[in-house]
Chain A
Amino acid sequence: MMTRAFTIAASTVLALVLWQGLVTLADLPPFILPDPVRVFETLWKSRALIAHHASITGAEVLLGLALGAMLGGFSAIGLAASPMARRLIRPMMVFSQSIPVFALAPILTLWLGYGLWSKVAMALLIIYFPVTSAFFDALMRTPQHWLDLGRIMGANRHRLMWHIRVPAALPGFASGLRLAAVYAPIGAIIGEWVGASKGLGYLMLLANGRAKIDLMFAALIVLAVLTLLLHAGVDRACRKWLDGKAARHEPA
């Protein structure tokens, strides 16, 4: 049986071979598609530059993820607790999803400036709905038997929420966070494209404009790897603290 590490290594090698094959067979010049060796050379030579910009993007993503998770978590609990809030706010949330986040980026840059916070806001905006929605759905689907038991035991609405509905819904929160880990970097990059002087998105745009396609690809690869690492980290944390037990046992 192939181990996970071996499978990942094998598919990486396959992708590199296909990439090299494409460059060789189609005889592409380096300013259209550089070959992998050239890109990795550039990645190594420009490592300090890329690392600097990656650290900026990383900070934006992590801040956006943390704030979005918190805000989404509280919103979901608020919506689940109050039918009034559901009636008033849910339509607004759904409507907000029909606005492409791209379209908001220039406005956010205008409001929050060229620095870190407009990107944090983009990342936050893009993950807010998936997190809220996944957690809210789970909060609304607490097994009825548990709720009945809680009521018979004399729980008021707040304690029912805190001691039964929220813990029972944590696996749903976890699925929202897993999605968020993949979406948050997209938000940050969009923000950097629209207006920034730092970050991987800015670097890619700059490299592209100056026909440094190898640098553009190097930054892109770093971004992809960071996103994968973030997803793996969030997945691990969710498994450890959020899903485990609640998912395994549904009441009879």
Chain B
Amino acid sequence: MHPTPPELVIDGSARIDGTPIFGPLRLRIPAGRWTCLLGPSGVGKTTLLRLLAGVDDVSDFTGTISASDGLPLPGRMALMAQGDLLMPWLDVLGNVTLGARLRGTPVDRERAFAMLERVGLTDHAGKTPDALSGGQRQRVALARTLMEDRPIVLLDEPFSALDARTRAQMQDLSAEHLAGRTVLMVTHDPAEAARLGDAINILSETGLAEFPPPHGVPPRPVDDSKTLAAQGRLLALLRAPAIP
């Protein structure tokens, strides 16, 4: 498909106005795999993601962010941020094809419609975002991110607004589309991490810890006993009181 996706390493610490946000830590995001970053709210997961995306200008980061192929990151990644960030003046189709218009490349309407069909929004293509529910808006944002077709994909709680059934479907869809790319997904849902992660990292107030992912190739079946057991252990780890 594209140039081979690189491995990413972020090594350092971040502060905002002198208050530590995270680190020092070292997170390795293996090439062509799906890495989950799990943790409670407020430990700096989103900051870390925004630093990788090169759009954080609030925090002071000391350290390095590097790709294994030594090439710069801009232009090679897609970001799905926490808010859906849909443009309210564009309809659903316009939002999904925004990337092409911003780059001045031809808009692939056929592919856009195919993507909308995959996220179950074909009938909504002509609607503006304010006519959609939160879950539908999140699916538009997902379709837009998948349309980007980049070797590195950063996802910030991409399925948080979805009901259980849609969430499982969208996870399958994303896993299929993003197979072979370097993916970092921030989430606070242990079930999601256990289902999708080739690698799972827990970020807490005390630092970064690796967690062995369950056996099997993601997306793992929702009722797989090893996956469910891993989800249970992850939740237990997350619930362990943070030592100040």
A joins B in a complex: yes
A residues contacting B by CB (< 8 A) are: 145-146, 148-156, 159-160, 163-164, 167-168, 170, 245-246, 248-249, 251-252
Contact residues of B between 76 and 111, Cβ < 8 Å to A? 77-79, 81-89, 98-99, 101-104
Contact residues of B between 49 and 85, Cβ < 8 Å to A? 50, 53-55, 74-75, 77-79, 81-85
**Cα distance A170–B148 when bound, in Å?**
27
15 further contact pairs, Cβ within 8 A, besides A148-B79, A151-B55, A160-B102: A145-B83, A146-B87, A152-B54, A152-B55, A152-B74, A152-B77, A152-B78, A154-B75, A154-B102, A155-B102, A167-B87, A168-B87, A246-B89, A249-B129, A252-B83
Contacts of A248 in B (CB 8 A): 88, 130
Closest residue of A by beta carbon distance from B154: A152
Contacts of A151 in B (CB 8 A): 55, 74
Contact A152 B79 (CB under 8 A): yes
**Cα distance A216–B77 when bound, in Å?**
69
Closest residue of B by beta carbon distance from A145: B85
Contact A153 B102 (CB under 8 A): yes
**Known: A145-B85, A148-B53, A163-B98. Contact between A154 and B77, CB under 8 A?**
no
Contacts of A170 in B (CB 8 A): 89
Min CB–CB distance A180 → chain B (angstroms): 22
Contact B104 A159 (CB under 8 A): yes
- Where chain B touches its partner, the secondary structure class is loop
Contact B103 A153 (CB under 8 A): yes
Min CB–CB distance A76 → chain B (angstroms): 18
Min CB–CB distance B51 → chain A (angstroms): 12
**Known: A248-B88, A248-B130, A252-B82. Contact between A148 and B55, CB under 8 A?**
yes
Contact B98 A249 (CB under 8 A): no
Contacts of B78 in A (CB 8 A): 152-153
Contact A163 B101 (CB under 8 A): yes
